[in-house]
A and B are shown apart, each in its own frame.
Chain A
Amino acid sequence: MAHEPAQTEAGKAEHHGHGAGRYWLVWAVLLACTGLTVYTGHYHPSIVVALVIAIFKASLVVLFFMHMTEAPGTNRLVFSVSLVFTMVLMLGVFGDLLTRNPMSLPGGAPPSEFHAAP
């Protein structure tokens, strides 16, 4: 239960070989991506591009700021599974909405190109 401070200190220096530098680098990339997303969003809006950039930024935060690269597999599994089930929720609901009878849709608006049989 007791730690040997000297031992652990030395161990720390080895274990955390990377300095603060990588955090600054990630920060710079995140800011650059923010700039990119503002630019593309303003001049060439596209949900796909916006999401791709957002996912990239999020991955950087998760992997480096949240140390997912060093985390045990269980923690990675936990987080990934929560993302997967978010997708399941979206897929199930959106799948319904895209394939419903047009009359039962929000606003009565027809879906973009799919018309379900009446």
Chain B
Amino acid sequence: MSQPSQLSTEHPDKPVIPAVNYLNADRGVWSWLTTIDHKRIGVMYLVSVLIAFLLGGIFAMALRLELLTPGPTIMGANTYNRMFTLHGVVMIFLFMIPAIPGVFGNFLLPLMLGAKDVAFPRLNLLSLYLYWTGATLALSGMIMGGTDTGWTFYAPYSTTTPMTLFPVLLGVFILGFSSILTGLNFIVTVHTLRAPGMGWMRLQLFVWAIYATSIIQVLATPVIGLTVMLIGIEKVGHFGLFDPSRGGDPVLFQHMFWFYSHPAVYIMVLPSMGVISEAIAAFARKNIFGYKMIAYSSLGIAFVGFFAWGHHMFVSGQSSLDNGAFAAISMLVGVFTAIKVFNWVATLYRGSIAVKTPLVYICGFLFFVVFGGMTGIAVATVSLDVHWHDTYFVIAHFHFIMVGAVIMAFLIALHYWFPKMFGRMYHEGWGMVAASLIVLGFNATFIPQFLLGNAGMPRRYYIYPERYQALNVASTAGASLLAFGFLIILIYLIYALVRGPIAGDNPWDSRGYEWMTTSPPPKHNFDVTPVITQDSHSYQEPGEEVEHVVI
């Protein structure tokens, strides 16, 4: 790749932040609000999703505090319903779905492709505005309307609850639109803006992951858009589509809802797997093992994920035929995930491991994705899920993936690419402390929940029998540790932003393409369009043979 002359590899003794970079190229709030620079949009997404995460976390802590005692603790039943609805909607629609694609997809995709921007920069800005609009509407709608249906909005409760639903549903619809446009943008970007020499098999695995995610976003999100609007219309107009008293079928709602919401979890998890592929190669200083298999398995997960939605409906009255079919297909996803895990571990093996903060999270990720994935196979088994459905077992399962895998990956991305985005380095010691707290706290929060669910404690209940208290207290204690860990991260990252040591262009000495420009990058990414002559993350010595997977 042709290099700009400010690279710190040419000035190894004195890392510098380029005098003019994307952060200061144009000044003023207005220049940020009207930007079409994908990097600035990524940074604005970062601030937004972090606020959303903070809110979602506060709601979670409220729930955990309530569950400290078997009886009512700090809130009544209705408030509890509203609280878990807030927690679910905020975490899923305002954080998990947009986070990694919106922040890191936006920031990195063009850099990793050798492009100057995404395919449709103004559409990208529109996506951000839609996110802000939808998020505001959904949040205010829930707070002022008292939404108490859970994030799943099941009919017939959602269509008959006296609580106001239309604003939050409209908010979710708008958020969906934001997601669709982002996915569309990314797909076209990958197809049309690759630098010369970058064939599909040279794409970085994070790009493959974002690409597969974008396909899901484009295909699945319209269905949820329609479905939530149908509930909204039903509430206002009483059209009877899901109302049994008018001949409708409430399970039809579940089908339509989960047709999106199951692939949605792959929107959340695929980008995080992409992050892992990048970080593992960098922190093991080794070419990723089984590049093709990882790339194809991303597409495989995206594809198979569309056929599995009925596993959320095993006890809804769905037919045995569908139950069996959905169960079998759901287990297929495990195959693709296992392929990835094997390849990641094989990459670590005999690698030159740098024990840094991201690596602690990587280890956490690997453990949580395997454990969470295996419990996924377990709940995909119909005869077992009959007992576990709507208990804390399921909650623990999906939090293992959503927090244990996705949020770990988000933190890895945040730490790994922090110097890239801001040119500064965080404090490694505090990073390790926080990482340990988080991994520990996570285990302490959710392992008790597996036990609780298996012992029969139902989800979304604000009171419970005495015998469940010990485990609930343990879970809340763990959650407090988690919260503490996140707080520490927030503090040292903000500190690093303003007073952190200058990182230089490539502090990790990573060989991903995005590191071949300055940190922070210039406004137009590359002064000269790079020409790609070798695979990304190529850590072999010149002339050295690289192990290839032979299938």
Q: Is A in direct contact with B (CB under 8 Å) within the complex? A: yes
The smallest beta-carbon distance between B443 and chain A, in angstroms, is 36
- Annotate A68-87 by CB proximity to B: 1 below 8 A, 0 otherwise: 00000010000001100100
Say whether, besides A82-B219, A85-B219, A96 and B322 are in contact (CB < 8 Å).
yes
Q: Is A19 on the interface with B (CB-CB < 8 A)?
A: no
* B219, B244, B248, B319: the one within 8 Å of A96 (CB): B319
CB-CB under 8 A from A97, the residues of chain B are: 249, 319
Chain A neighbourhood of B244, CB < 8 A: 106
> In the assembled complex, which residues on chain B have CB atoms less than 8 Å from the CB atom of A104?
251, 317
B84 part of interface (Cβ distance < 8 Å): no
Query: What CA separation (Å) do A100 and B254 show in the bound complex?
Result: 15
- Interface 9-residue window, one of B98-106, B169-177, B205-213, B304-312: B304-312
Question: Chain B residues with Cβ under 8 A from A92's Cβ?
Answer: 255, 259, 307, 309-310, 322, 326
**What is the 8 Å Cβ interface bit string for chain B, positions 482-506, against chain A (1 contact, 0 not)?**
0000000000000000000000000
CB distance from A1 to the nearest CB of B (A): 14
Task: Please indicate the chain A residues that have their CB under 8 angstroms from the CB of B251 in the complex.
Answer: 96, 104
* B538 contacts chain A at the CB level, 8 A cutoff: no
The answer to whether A106 touches B321 (Cβ under 8 A) is no
The distance in angstroms between the C-alpha atoms of A106 and B248, with both chains bound, is: 6
B321 CB contacts on chain A under 8 angstroms: 95-96, 99
A93 CB within 8 Å of chain B: yes
Alpha-carbon separation in the docked complex, A74 to B247 (Å): 42
A49 within 8 Å of B (CB atoms)? no
Cβ–Cβ contact A116 & B320, under 8 A: yes
Interface contact B319-A100, CB-CB below 8 Å: yes
- Could you tell me if A106 and B249 are in contact, using CB atoms closer than 8 angstroms? yes
Q: A74-B191, A88-B306 are in contact. Are A95 and B247 (CB under 8 A)?
A: no
Report the bound CA distance from A23 to B451 in whole Å.
Answer: 67
CB proximity of B318 to chain A, nearest CB, Å? 5
Instruction: Tell me if B252 is interfacial: C-beta within 8 Å of chain A.
Output: yes
Question: What are 20 A-B contacts with C-beta separation under 8 Å?
Answer: A74-B191, A81-B219, A85-B306, A89-B223, A89-B255, A89-B259, A92-B259, A92-B322, A93-B255, A93-B256, A95-B325, A96-B319, A96-B322, A100-B318, A100-B319, A101-B319, A105-B249, A106-B247, A106-B252, A107-B247
Residues of B10-63 contacting chain A, CB below 8 A: none
Q: Which B residues fall within an 8 A CB radius of A?
A: 191, 219, 223, 244, 247-249, 251-252, 255-256, 259, 306-307, 309-310, 317-322, 325-326
| Separation of A65 and B256 alpha carbons in the complex (Å) | 32
* Residues of the B chain whose Cβ atoms lie less than 8 Å from the Cβ of A105: 249
> 0/1 per residue, A88-118, Cβ < 8 Å to B?
1100110111111100111100000000100
Closest to B260 in A: A89
Name the prevailing secondary structure of the A interface residues.
Answer: helix
- Check B219–A101 contact: CB distance below 8 A: no
Q: Least Cβ distance of B227 to chain A in Å?
A: 11
A93–B325 Cα distance when bound, in Å, is 12
Residues on B with beta carbons closer than 8 Å to the beta carbon of A82: 219
- Chain A, residue nearest B223 (CB): A89
A residues less than 8 Å from B306 (CB atoms): 85, 88
Q: A100 contacts which of B219, B310, B317 (Cβ < 8 Å)? A: B317
Give the chain A neighbours of B252 by CB distance below 8 A: 93, 106
Contacts of A93 in B (CB 8 A): 252, 255-256
Query: A85 contacts which chain B residues (CB < 8 A)?
Result: 219, 306
Nearest-CB residue, chain B, relative to A96? B322
A101 touches B223 (CB 8 A): no
Once A88-B307, A92-B307, A104-B251 are accepted as A-B contacts, the answer to whether A99 and B259 lie under 8 Å apart by CB is no
A95 touches B319 (CB 8 A): yes
Measured between alpha carbons, how far is A74 from B317 in the docked complex, in Å? 40
Chain A residues with CB under 8 Å of B249's CB are 97, 105-106
Q: Which residue of A lies closest to B244 (CB)?
A: A106
Cα distance A104–B320 in the bound complex, in angstroms: 13
| Least distance between A81 CB and chain B CB atoms (Å) | 7
The smallest C-beta distance from B393 to any residue of chain A, in angstroms, reads 24
Extra contacts, 16 of them, besides A89-B223, A106-B247, A107-B247 (Cβ < 8 A), are A81-B219, A85-B219, A92-B326, A93-B255, A95-B319, A95-B322, A95-B325, A96-B255, A96-B310, A99-B319, A99-B320, A99-B321, A99-B322, A100-B317, A105-B249, A106-B249
Cβ-closest chain A residue relative to B310:
A92
B493 to chain A, nearest CB (A): 39
Please, which residues of chain B bring their CB within 8 A of the CB of A98? 319
In the complex, the chain B residue whose C-beta lies closest to that of A82 is B219
The smallest beta-carbon distance between A27 and chain B, in angstroms, is: 30
CB-CB nearest in chain B for A72: B191
A94 to B: closest C-beta gap in Å = 10
CA distance A74 to B255 in the complex (A): 30
Tell me how far the C-beta of B17 lies from the nearest C-beta in chain A, rounded to whole angstroms.
Answer: 33
**B318 and A96 contacting across the interface, CB-CB below 8 Å:** yes
Nearest-neighbour CB distance to chain B for A80, whole angstroms, equals 12
Min CB–CB distance A109 → chain B (angstroms): 9
**Min C-beta distance of A18 to chain B, whole Å:** 27
Bound-complex Cα distance A74 to B318 (A): 36
Which residues of B have CB within 8 Å of A116? 319-320
B256 vs chain A, min Cβ distance (A): 8
Q: Which residues of A contact B248 (CB under 8 A)?
A: 106
A59 to chain B minimum Cβ distance, whole angstroms, is 21
The residue on A at minimum CB distance from B326 is A92
- What's the nearest-Cβ distance from chain A to residue B90, in Å? 28
| Residues of A with C-beta under 8 A to B310 | 92, 96
* Min distance, Cβ B420 to any Cβ of chain A, angstroms: 31
| Chain B: CB-nearest residue to A95 | B322
| Bound-complex Cα distance A71 to B512 (A) | 34
Task: Digitize A3-46: 1 where CB-to-B-CB distance is under 8 Å, 0 elsewhere.
Answer: 00000000000000000000000000000000000000000000
